[in-house]
Structure 1
Amino acid sequence: MSDASLTNARIPDEYRPNIEEILIPAADIAAKLDELAAQIDRDYAGRELLLVGVLKGAIFLVSDLHRRLGVPAAMDFMAVSSYGSATTSSGVVRILKDLDTQIEGLHVLVVEDIVDSGLTLDYLLKNLRSRKPASVEVLSLLTKPSRREVDLPIRYVGFEVPDVFVVGYGLDFAEHYRGLSDIVTLKPEAYGG
């Protein structure tokens, strides 16, 4: 990343000293969402879809994706946690907010910000499948294959990222950096890494 790209990015001054680099610029995210939406439109033609955004990280992703879709889609949210304020998954998953929608017989697309170890998503998929939907697929904007502890079927992947701590476009560290348009890496001293 050049100094110019960081200089020209819309980043609060308070965050700038903690940012190592812009890993995925906002324009690349937008282009990838266009591509993924077109693929989803083909795959779900003639069927109605329920997007299940996993809060809080997927809030911008599910909204931006929903507006790009050409197939009918409803939207609901779940909040699950295995991180707290840590930078790695604890492996203990808690449902903080459940769906408002009954999903039996529906085509469900789980929309995740990032799949790291896969433990949280594995728990979530088992929970959702027990509710007898017509289908359950996964879209993850980011995936870290090198960190995977569970083999998971992720049908739609935006970007594979290295084993670095990323924030922005919904991803946070202790509730900060979530609103950045780009996905960035933090300097290790910013998160105690």
Structure 2
Amino acid sequence: MNLANKITIARILLIPIFILLFPIYPEWLVKNNAIIHHIDLFGIYYAAAVFLLASVTDKLDGYIARKYSQITNLGKLLDPLADKLLISTALILMVSQQLIYTWVAFAIIAREIIITGIRIVAASQKIALQADRFGKIKMVFQVIAISAVLLNNLPFRYITEIRIDQVLMYAALILTIYSGYNYIKNNYRMLKLES
């Protein structure tokens, strides 16, 4: 297994750590366990740090794969899967703590499922569909928005009373929906011709 794929797997393995650090523990456990109590107070910041670290590895594994010609079928499968697992996990946990609306998380996750379905159909037809620039931009916005929400609008709350974290989340939502539409529009005919 090459270095790029090892980094991708490391990103997947960071997801359970992200979950464990997220303050979602029941009150009785928070009161009776010092570690869980600490996580309840500060875990969201640790979780944000792990989320950011995992997100950075997304750029790193892609860079290494391209630079050292380590692009493999396993990497093509694992890389987008790791991204979707990380983003979806963060969104679901944020909904559980009422940090974002359920419909926002649903729309973003639904888009990812639809695009993944299209890629599976394309792969069955031996068509390789690459991510476009809008897909990459929406991923960057998703990471920034999720990080800002996890950090409770830091550092923006020291500058303005406007909830910049929520503004970023809606911007990420719009970009996510648009990139999904653009992806379907650009690839629909190719898939239809091959069906």
The two structures have a TM-score, normalised by structure 2, of 0.21
- Higher percent of residues as strand: 1
